Structure 1
Amino acid sequence: MPSERTSERTSERTSERTSRTIEERLRAIEDRLDILNLIASHPPSADSGADYFTRQVYTDDGVIDLGGGKAASGNDEVAAMVKTPGHQAAIAGGLAHFCGLPRIDIDGDAATVTSYLQIITPHPNAEPHEVPNHGTTRGFRIHRVGANRWELVRTASGWKIKRRTLRPLDGTEPARELLRGALKSYEKVG
């Protein structure tokens, strides 16, 4: 049985849907799809060193904050991160960024996206394991899991990243705070 709060949220969404025009609803769907494609393109760009992609999808004054003092600002500086010797060595070692399904909140020409990110690498010291019809491998290991907050703005050329904040899910508060931010609309008001 749905809770009273769930029923209220469902009623609010139904009312919002019926009060918007078809054009407004279509634009909202297109915005979500554009944002999904933008966020889904991050792993292949990071794992292939596609600095040209990163340069195009960050605003000129875009910021990436990876925590621990590791940050870059300006789309050129952010893009250069995938060309560093360390990142190139990680790519050569089989680095794989794996994102969870993002939560997207759009407010006019701004959007906030919250997602999980796993860094997966080949496990070079594990015993080989065969999976029928899929070959033999030493497997992979999850190197790190983090919480992402992407702050986007709509520009003349589409949605762009204004700021990305990433915090490790290591039991500390900063990552949980990022994740709680995705649920603000569910907080009981009053």
Structure 2
Amino acid sequence: MNDSKSLEDRLRDIEDRLAIYNLLASHPLSADTGEPDFIESIYTETVVFDRGAGLSDAHGRDEMVDLVESAAHHTAIAGGLAHFGNLPLVELHGDTAVATSYIALITPDGKGQERELANHGTSTGFRIHRLVANRWSLVREDGRWSIAARTVLPMDGSGPALEMVRQAATYYADR
């Protein structure tokens, strides 16, 4: 902690961090419902969404809305798609911030063996379809945090995802 910051500055950092946590916590809900108003409320007009090799990107809020309103995305939602994220590491820089997190894409396992869990019924279970590292670029506009860019890379041991996570791992090196 930087003890030279005023109490007001430290309080603003806390409020910013909480606002960013809430914003990023809303992402799975927006993705898993495909609600366009939700998407429009959390992304900047010029957002850039880089989903890595083999998947379509989005440039601008309208393309983000198109992505979640697509028939393919709604097929995934109907199949039980659930984005499950962790608490991100947030680096504040005034009116901008960078956050790094993981998201697991989880779906029901229709081919799994049915099992019973006491007091919770039966299930064939779930499977992790993909685990991705996320690098979120955030900006405060009109007093409100929004997602300006997001890079998503599969955690498959390849260089790009590992390098992105390494960038976040240096967070405490300069403290």
> Mind listing any 5+ residue stretches in structure 1 that lack a counterpart?
1-12
Pairwise CA distance, 1:136:
0.4
Structure 1 stretches of 4+ with a deviation exceeding 3 A read 185-189
Q: Does 1:144 align with 2:136?
A: no
Deviations 1:40-65 (A, max 9, x none): 00011111112211112111111100
Residue 163 of structure 1 is matched in structure 2 by 149
Correspondence 1:41-56 to 2 at 5 A: 41-56=26-41
Give the residue type in structure 1 aligned to 2:22: N
Q: Pick the aligned partner of 1:26 from 11, 19, 37.
A: 11
Check the 8 A contact 1:47/1:95 in 2, yes or no: yes
Cα distance in structure 1, aligned partners of 2:170 and 2:29:
30
Higher helix share: 1
Identity score, percent = 49
Structure number with higher relative contact order (C-alpha < 8 Å, ≥ 6 residues apart): 2
Larger radius of gyration: 1
Q: TM-score, normalised by structure 1?
A: 0.87
Correspondence 1:19-168 to 2 at 5 A: 19-68=4-53, 70-168=56-154
CA RMSD of aligned residues (A): 1.4
Give the residue type in structure 1 aligned to 2:123: T
Cα distance in structure 2, aligned partners of 1:188 and 1:34:
24
Cα distance in structure 2, aligned partners of 1:66 and 1:143:
15
Check the 8 A contact 1:150/1:165 in 2, yes or no: yes
For residue 171 of structure 2, give the secondary structure of its aligned residue in structure 1.
helix
Residue 167 of structure 2 is matched in structure 1 by 181
Give the residue type in structure 1 aligned to 2:91: D
Give the residue type in structure 2 aligned to 1:125: K
Deviations 1:138-175 (A, max 9, x none): 11000110100000011104011111000001111111
